[in-house]
Structure formats: structure tokens, C-alpha cells
Structure 1
């Protein structure tokens, strides 16, 4: 009788301990770190980040008008953050043995360059904006979110652009995809469109260390074949207007609308899909 009571008590204790373990909040997962930094980038509306600062799952990173920094993830992928940019680390799964996993980054505004690491080769690395989802398969992609529009430019590797259930796969460096009135368009965007991202030592927009710059220069992409479809390239008296990037409150998946391959043919891109 005593043994049965003792077994019952032990079972109750085990169940209680298991419930406590289930209910206890887990520590936030560190997924990467800030390895280079120039002017202001803040985390979760808090303090300014410095070199070596850890980045955790769920963190929101925002840069100011002269912000510039480099974030490196555990799988050796990275993101170079440009001015007036808002990023959220929504998902990070990495299996070092197989190289598989998933990196999902939300991007509400601004400019960033993403370098694919191990996950981008064996798993899924994607950037979700309010207008489309862009995927990187190895290589390098640049993403601009401004003026109610998203532009993705391939610099190396392969890039997928998904909107309203339709997908473009771009394989030719310099080609880009963009959202335009509910449609998915593509064209040549330029191979060196945003030189602001080419050196972490440059203050935004100047090329010189130590002095704040004017922010983002979009003249290169506006001079490309894709420029005519971009709202940020609308001119006033022949001059580019000032570019103001805001921080939307939330990511809203694109809905409705159609899809257009924008006349893309040949090896530069495939429509609606290719492997």
C-alpha cells in the first residue's frame, strides 16, 4: 500500500516538474552579431548597437538616415543594413551538419544587401516585405523598400520573387523584380546600383568617413531600364524628388492583383518558375 502511494506521489511530482518546464519561458536564441557599424542602428527601439552586440530571434533593427552596419548570422550569411531601414529577425533555423534550415527576415523599409550563407545553399533564406517575398539561393541580393514599392536586385547567385502566389526566378546578375500596382515586373536594374553599401567605412551617401551624408541616392537605379516603373524615380522639373522612407507599423502580405513578367526573356530570368 505504501509503495503504491509512493509511486503515485512520484508520478505527480514528475508531472508537476514537467509542467513547470513547459511553462517556463525559454531564453532568447542568439542568431548572429553586429560585426561592423557606422552611425545609429538601434534594437527593439532601445539603445544603439555596437560592434560585437548579439542579435536574437525576434529582434527588430532600425537604422537612422545615415545608418550603416553589418549583421552576420551563425550560418555565415549576412545582411548589410543601409539608411532608414527596418528589419525583423522572424525565423532562424540552422542544422550545421546538413546545412539545411530557414532564415526569414521581415523588412518594412529602407535598403539592405543580403549575402547567402549555408542555409541559402541547403535550405531557405527569404526576405518578406509588405509587397513581396524575395528568396536568395547562395549569392547576393539587394532589397529596397520605399515609396510603397519593393525592388529586389540580383548581384550573384539566384533570386526568387514571389507575389500573390506567382513567382519569378532571376539568374542573371543586374536583373531586378519590382511590385507595381499589384503586378510583378522585371527588368535590368544595374549591377552596382547602391554604392552606399559597397564599403562599411563610408558614411551614408558621402564615400567619406566621419561626416554624415544626405542619405540614399537612387539616381543609378532610376537611370536603369527598370527606372521608369519605380515610384521613387518620378521626377519634378527633371530632378529627382527627395526620398523619404517611413516605418510601417506591420508587414502586410500582398493580396489581389495579377502578375506580369515585364517582357523578361532568355537566361536573365524565368517565368513563372524554373529550376
Structure 2
């Protein structure tokens, strides 16, 4: 084939691939159902945009907030992510087949504070994967809080079927009773009771007015036409005992808040068996 013809064929292939790549990058994952103060999104190397209530959030879009920002992202299966101040989250992949109630959610939690509330996809084992610096977590049929400060991470199970954590060391642990958390540092974790002051901290961080803009209209919500199925268990449901793989260590009442308030690690002597002085 002459060189000119080869160049024309190559140019045609590049032209055909470019729109496909753009369409993939702009695949919609959900809608911003609440925004407070400043939350921004960025897809790949594109420009930053301000996330506004009722607007779409795309797969691969990095959501970041400032010191006062909060955003809630509603997905088509009824799942939602709440991202607190000074935080970042990417919804890497969202696939949903409503006729089967099946699909897949893959997200990356970078830093700060966030909450995941499960929808229909979360009812399937392995349907939800959240990547973090310390490892990956899965949430089945429930809700979990995520806290990342420096090298220390806490995943708190609120309700549902279970929360699993696989550390960078390959060790897996499972929590299926509310009030327990995985405390992770250095790519490994331990399971212990969730400190009350940590719950209060997350509640303060995630509480907001919901934004000053208008609420999503009926048409916007109709396109996400499945009500959130992540409801608490019925009263009186039996709660199995927690699965604690590592020995739990009591957490003093005021140490966690003091460290977070100062934004630094204070040099407390570690309790024997603790993963990190920050959470011991």
C-alpha cells in the first residue's frame, strides 16, 4: 500500500477512536442530589467544573471538596455517596441492569470523610468495591462510613449484611454487626468497636443544609427511578455476633477528636496490639 494511503487509513482510525474515548469518559454515573458550598469535578485531564445540584456526575470523574464543601451523588440503583469536606472520591465504574437488579459499582476513596448507602447493586455479593490506600472494601446491603486521615483509615459498619476489608497484605476480614469498624494502617487492619466520638465526628462532617439551589425535578428523579432500597433491618431482626479477627483494643474517649481537631498526629505511646496510636 502506498505511503499516502497508509497515512489516510491511520488518520481515519484515529478519528474513529477519538469520539469513542470521549463518550466513554463522559458516561453518566449519577446525579448530584445535594451540594453544599464548593464541590468540584474533573474527568481525566479535563478542566475542573463546579458540581451543581441536579447535574450529572460521570464515571471516572474525581469529586473534590474544600473545607466547607459537601456533595451527595445519587446512582440509578438507589445507592448514594455522601462526600464530606476536604475529601475526594472517584466513581470509577457504574454498571446497572435494572431488569435483573444486578450490576457493579467500583469507586476510589482518596481522602477525607464519606458515607456509602447501598442500593440494589449492593444486595449482591461483590457488587460494590471501594478502593482505598490501605486496601479494598466491599459493602453488602447496607451503609458504611469512610474516614481517611494521613496514613490511617477507619471503615465503620452502620447496618446491612456485612462489610469486608482486604488489606494490601492480602488478609481479609469481615464485620457484620453495627457498631464495629475496621481500623487500617500500613496496608493491614484490625477490627474493634467504633468509638462514639468518631461517629459524632463523621456526623458533624457530613451534616449540611443540602445546598441553596433547587431540588432535582421530577423528570431528573424519574431517570433514576428506583427508590433507595438501603433500609435499616426490621426491628427485632436477630443480629449475629461480630467477626473479630484481630484483638480489639479500647479507644479512649477524647483522643480521636483531639487528633483530628489538631490535624496532626500527637505522639501518644501506642497501646500494645494497636495498629496506630491515632485510633488506640
TM-score w.r.t. the length of structure 2 is 0.65
State the match for 2:218 in structure 1.
none
Q: Does 1:242 align with 2:262?
A: yes
Residue correspondence of structure 1 range 13-92 to structure 2 within 5 A: 24-26=19-21, 27=23, 28-44=26-42, 46-92=48-94
CA distance in 2, matches of 1:61, 1:240: 22
Paired residue for 1:116, among 91, 115, 118?
118
Give the 3-state SS of the residue equivalent to 1:178 in structure 2: strand
State the match for 1:200 in structure 2.
208
CA distance in 2, matches of 1:170, 1:160: 6
Shift of 1:113: 0.5
CA distance in 1, matches of 2:138, 2:90: 16
Shift of 1:160: 0.7
Report the CA distance shift for 1:198/1:62 in structure 2 as closer, same or farther (over 3 A).
closer
Shift of 1:108: 1.1
Shift of 1:18: 9.5
Paired residue for 1:168, among 163, 167, 173?
173
Shift of 1:50: 1.0
CA distance in 1, matches of 2:141, 2:61: 24
Give the 3-state SS of the residue equivalent to 1:196 in structure 2: helix
Residue correspondence of structure 1 range 140-151 to structure 2 within 5 A: 140-151=143-154
| Deviations 1:115-161, CA, capped at 9 Å, x for gaps | 00111112511211111211110110000011211110000111111
Question: Conserved in 2, the CA contact under 8 Å of 1:91 and 1:104?
Answer: yes
Question: Conserved in 1, the CA contact under 8 Å of 2:152 and 2:183?
Answer: yes
Aligned length: 207
State the match for 2:237 in structure 1.
none
State the match for 1:152 in structure 2.
155
State the match for 1:233 in structure 2.
256
Give the 3-state SS of the residue equivalent to 1:233 in structure 2: helix
Question: Conserved in 1, the CA contact under 8 Å of 2:157 and 2:179?
Answer: yes
Q: CA RMSD in A?
A: 3.2
In our comparison, the structure showing a higher alpha carbon Rg is 1
Question: Conserved in 1, the CA contact under 8 Å of 2:41 and 2:49?
Answer: yes
Give the 3-state SS of the residue equivalent to 2:85 in structure 1: coil
In structure 1, runs of 5+ residues without a counterpart are: 1-15, 204-223, 245-259, 263-275
Question: Conserved in 1, the CA contact under 8 Å of 2:175 and 2:181?
Answer: yes
Give the 3-state SS of the residue equivalent to 2:112 in structure 1: strand
